């Protein structure tokens, strides 16, 4: 399970120092500016509260902040680009000059990505892997931003119907390569792309566990930095006795530990304070294993 190698990548970012991935696992803090986030008991709709939460995440050790204005949980209703922008732009504008860490915008919409990048975001985190709005890649390329391409199938309301795989790791790798090709053809340089296997998206629990357990295979097949986002997701529900999403941080800690040991470059989490500690301890275990095995 422990990956003997984790390649180091340098990801250029606009108007700031490049992001170095692989020297240690980075923690991406989730900032949902939505009224219907699946995983949080409180909603950060008020821009002032969201700005303060982002600053607190940085103070607690987050290496990146991922801001989203539309829930992408299974079954979620889509929102318009105007509504999404109304939620996130006050937060992005309010954070200008207040954060040292890079900001990522969690969107699949080209118009939202363009406005967010103009407001200071440096990364676009596309849960559709360019399958919903391929023109988003041109926006990213034109602004010199980095791009996270996540694996999924179908929209929020239909994704589980498409969770049929011959070999989940081989199938996910093949479909992520298709997203990579789309990005490349639109002019996004390879060194600006990060991949996410989409734990919990269009996957039954066995598929999500399989992806986590076989992450080194995926890394070898794709040769790009990997972001893993297991935080509070429903694939853990049965193993945790049916606990609701806000009570799944212990399960998240186990999944995050597995991801770090398997060589993940970034983990995306809700409970930043707790998961920073989990990541740091898991990194020490990984270092000890590597020392013992040459």
pLDDT tens track for 245-287: 999 999 999 999 999 999 999 999 999 999 999 999 999 999 9
CA terminus-to-terminus distance, the chain: 16
The answer to which of 21-25, 138-142, 154-158 has the lowest mean pLDDT is 154-158
Domain tally, the chain: 1
pLDDT in tens, 59-91: 999 999 999 999 876 666 789 999 999 999 999
In whole angstroms, give the CA distance from residue 263 to residue 286.
9
Instruction: Read off the tokens for 275.
Output: 């998961």
Residue 193: CATH number of its domain = 3.20.20.20
Half-sphere exposure of 90 (CA within 13 A, CB side): 14
pLDDT of residue 155: 87
CA-to-CA distance for 7 and 219, rounded, in angstroms? 9
Tokens encoding 124: 């676009």
pLDDT value, residue 40: 56
User: In Å, what is the CA distance from 170 to each residue of 125, 153, 174, 197, 253?
Assistant: 22, 15, 6, 11, 26
**For residue 3, is it within any domain?**
no
Residue 172, in any domain of the structure: yes
Report yes or no on 1 lying in a domain: no
pLDDT at position 39, please?
Answer: 54
- The question of whether 233 is a catalytic residue gets the answer yes
CA-wise closest residue to 130 among 145, 153, 108, 152: 108
- Asked whether residue 2 is domain-assigned, the answer is no
- Give residue 95's domain range: 9-292
Helix pair 215-222, 168-185: axis angle to 10 deg: 30
Q: Which of 233, 243, 280, 286 is catalytic?
A: 233
Helix and strand numbers (H, E) in the chain are: 9, 10
Query: What pLDDT digit, counting tens, does each position of 25-70 carry?
Result: 999 999 999 886 655 544 567 899 999 999 999 999 999 999 999 9
Q: Let me know if residue 4 belongs to a domain.
A: no
**The predicted structure's pLDDT at residue 98:** 96
Set 268, 280, 286, 287: catalytic member: 268
Q: 113, 128, 129: which is closest to 180 by C-alpha?
A: 129
Q: What is the pLDDT of residues 88-144, one digit of tens each?
A: 999 999 999 999 999 999 999 999 999 999 999 999 999 999 999 999 999 999 999
């Amino acid at each position: 399970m422990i990956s003997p190698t984790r390649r180091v990548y340098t990801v250029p970012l606009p108007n700031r120092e490049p992001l170095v991935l692989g020297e240690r696992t980075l923690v991406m803090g989730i900032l949902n500016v939505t009224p219907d986030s699946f995983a949080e008991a409180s909603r950060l709709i008020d821009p002032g509260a969201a700005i303060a939460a982002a600053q607190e995440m940085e103070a607690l050790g987050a290496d990146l902040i991922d801001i989203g204005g539309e829930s992408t949980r299974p079954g979620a209703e889509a929102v318009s680009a105007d509504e999404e922008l109304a939620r996130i732009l006050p937060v992005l504008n309010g954070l200008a000059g207040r954060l040292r860490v890079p900001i990522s915008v969690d969107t699949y919409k080209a118009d939202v990505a363009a406005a967010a990048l103009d407001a200071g975001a440096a990364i676009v985190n596309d849960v559709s892997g360019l399958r919903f709005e391929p023109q988003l890649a041109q926006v990213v390329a034109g602004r010199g931003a980095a791009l996270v391409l996540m694996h999924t199938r179908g929209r929020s309301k239909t994704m589980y119907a498409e969770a049929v795989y011959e070999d989940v790791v081989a199938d996910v790798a093949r479909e992520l390569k298709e997203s990579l090709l789309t990005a490349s053809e639109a002019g996004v340089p390879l060194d600006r792309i990060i991949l996410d296997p989409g734990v919990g998206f269009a996957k039954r629990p066995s598929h999500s566990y399989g992806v986590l357990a076989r992450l080194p295979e995926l890394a070898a097949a794709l040769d790009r930095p990997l972001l893993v986002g297991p935080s509070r997701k429903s694939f853990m529900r049965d193993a945790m006795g049916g606990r609701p999403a806000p009570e799944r941080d212990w399960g998240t800690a186990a999944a995050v530990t597995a991801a770090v040991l398997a060589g993940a470059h970034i983990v995306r989490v809700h409970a930043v304070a707790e998961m920073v500690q989990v990541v740091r301890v898991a990194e020490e275990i990984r270092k000890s294993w590597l020392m013992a095995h040459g």
